Structure 1
Amino acid sequence: MPDLSRRTGISFAGTFFCSAFAACFAEVCTIPLDTAKVRLQLQKRTVVGEGTGPPKYKGVFGTISTIAREEGLPALWKGIIPGLHRQFIYGGLRIGLYEPVKAYLSSDYFGNVSLFQKILAALITGAIAISVANPTDLVKVRLQSEGKLPAGVARRYSSALSAYYTIVQQEGLSALWTGLGANIARNATINAAELASYDQVKQTIMQILGFSDNIFTHLLAGLGAGFFAVCIGSPLDVVKSRMMGDTSYKGALDCFIKTLANEGPYAFYKGFLLNFGRLGSWNVIMFLVLEQVKSFFFLEA
């Protein structure tokens, strides 16, 4: 995680808006992969006669091509509006709060900060950020999960704003926080994997390998952050997506148990390559943009 907020005097508001901008930019670039990932995660085994029918979505390119062929290319950007809502709030808060929380946890802030302190700071900021942004995540998943409908069947939601209103009207205000427990677990964990690993990988390759603080270093650190985030967070991501896309589950544990019983442990890594393609590229883009935007603020200061 870049430490420019400490070195340049950028305020929390400045860091928040830099982070929100970088997160939104990365979202626009990578949301087709996220839409395909959600479809794969929500896909359940279908029974045809006495056997199991072939899945509709297969693999990275198969899922993307199926969505584009059946629903049109713009369908890959379903959920982009709530996605931008989510990234502005969640992305701004989780990164904007990281340095202040890390400083609070560390008595040696101007020296070396331990890996444990980095992980704890990222866990806390991820949990706070997604608690605020959960409604945007819910609407994003609901819009992304809706595939091609039979002729004459109307869509549940005509737009992101319609989705917010309809959910509150039909399910109550608290429904906007459906899956919050799984979402906190997922996002706090992934945030810790992303921010702490980016921070640690960047520090390590600069100190041990002698790399300079440049775009190539940011690229390697971003890829490392994405890989660790997917390995650790994929099972939680599947549970979160299923809870938000299917209201039949009683809670995160019920979703986990039913998924494990019905589909086996492999189900928790459905869409793994898509998820890594999404989070790996997302982290690379986001951190590269964030470093450049913060550098711009530093140069202008």
Structure 2
Amino acid sequence: MQLQGEPAVQPLRPALAFHTPHIHLLLPRRTLSVGLRIIQQDGAAALFSGVSATVLRQTLYSTTRMGLYDILKKKWTDPNTNNMPLMRKITAGLIAGGVGAAVGNPADVAMVRMQADGRLPPAQRRNYKSVVDAITQMSKNEGIGSLWRGSSLTVNRAMLVTASQLASYDQFKEMILERDLMKDGLGTHVTASFAAGFVAAVASNPVDVIKTRVMNMKVEAGMAAPYSGALDCAMKTIKAEGPMALYKGFIPTISRQGPFTVVLFVTLEQVRKLFKDL
């Protein structure tokens, strides 16, 4: 959905350009219709395209950012109040997110390409067999640097997500406990994590749209790239589609961020409790 309405399809020749000038394609507008269209055209398995890359990305990215944030949190927490100021939480999130994104970027590029491959004309599809095959082919055909294509966007997004997600979770949790709205238990963890997921989705969606378009653009030999960078992509997107284009795919984003954030923090709290009891 974040790639729908991408400006100047023919002149820019992005990776998702369909070379069917005599056919007008009505792009689906809603999440459900997008899912149904994918199933009709490519089968139910297409909904899980790039799952191996997704798993690898989350493994590298999440473990790095969560671990580093926890280290910084322990170091910067005030021993007298046992709390960390909001600005320090945000700073810790920015650092942890940036490092985690840099580590997971190769898998992120592979994930974007594998998920978008089915929309390319058959002759232009990359047909990666797995995330390992995708990374190997990109390194061989486009150079090692291609694994970090769009890394500035990935890092910026990860910094926003981690800072907004982790900092807001800790902040919401502290507010709930300080005001005695709920006890430190499952209800508090679910409430704080859902609120954190919403904040993270709002903060990250514009960067996510730009990142997806830059990573997925197809650069052909002898031709200028569709976008010269993140700012160029943002300006062209806003000019052609309006500022709200930066929030395309927000419903899928919040639908993913919400449950994921709840599961993430509830699981994390239970693991912490388990290790504390040992």
Report the TM-score when normalising by structure 1.
0.79
Task: Write the distance in 1 (CA, Å) between the matches of 2:164 and 2:150.
Answer: 21
Q: How does 1:99-114 map onto structure 2 within 5 Å?
A: 99-106=70-77, 108=79, 111-114=82-85
* 4+ aligned runs moved over 6 Å, structure 1: 46-50
Alpha carbon RMSD of aligned pairs, Å? 2.3
Alignment equivalent of 1:289, drawn from 260, 267, 270: 267
Pairing 1:273–2:244 present = no
Pairing 1:130–2:108 present = no
Number of equivalenced pairs: 260
- The residue that corresponds to 1:21 in the other structure is none
Alignment equivalent of 2:133, drawn from 150, 158, 162: 162
Task: Write the distance in 2 (CA, Å) between the matches of 1:112 and 1:153.
Answer: 54
Alignment equivalent of 2:4, drawn from 22, 43, 50: 43
- The residue that corresponds to 2:41 in the other structure is 70
In the TM superposition, what is the alpha-carbon distance from 1:151 to its structure 2 partner?
6.0
In the alignment, is the contact (CA less than 8 A) between 2:150 and 2:214 conserved in 1?
yes
Structure 1 residues 200 and 154: alpha-carbon distance in aligned structure 2, compared to 1, 3 A threshold: closer
Q: How does 1:1-301 map onto structure 2 within 5 Å?
A: 40-44=1-5, 53=24, 55-106=26-77, 108=79, 111-148=82-119, 155-247=126-218, 248-299=226-277, 301=278
Structure 1 residues 92 and 109: alpha-carbon distance in aligned structure 2, compared to 1, 3 A threshold: farther
In the TM superposition, what is the alpha-carbon distance from 1:227 to its structure 2 partner?
0.6
Structure 1 residues 237 and 218: alpha-carbon distance in aligned structure 2, compared to 1, 3 A threshold: same
Task: Write the distance in 1 (CA, Å) between the matches of 2:83 and 2:72.
Answer: 15
- Comparing 273-282 with 139-148, which one deviates more in the overlay? 139-148
In the alignment, is the contact (CA less than 8 A) between 1:143 and 1:157 conserved in 2?
yes
- Aligned residues with identical type, % of pairs: 35
Task: Write the distance in 2 (CA, Å) between the matches of 1:54 and 1:153.
Answer: 19
In the TM superposition, what is the alpha-carbon distance from 1:210 to its structure 2 partner?
3.5
In the TM superposition, what is the alpha-carbon distance from 1:97 to its structure 2 partner?
1.0
Deviations 1:244-285 (CA, angstroms, capped at 9, x unpaired): 111432211111111112211111000111111111111011
Task: Write the distance in 1 (CA, Å) between the matches of 2:235 and 2:51.
Answer: 31
Task: Write the distance in 1 (CA, Å) between the matches of 2:26 and 2:261.
Answer: 30
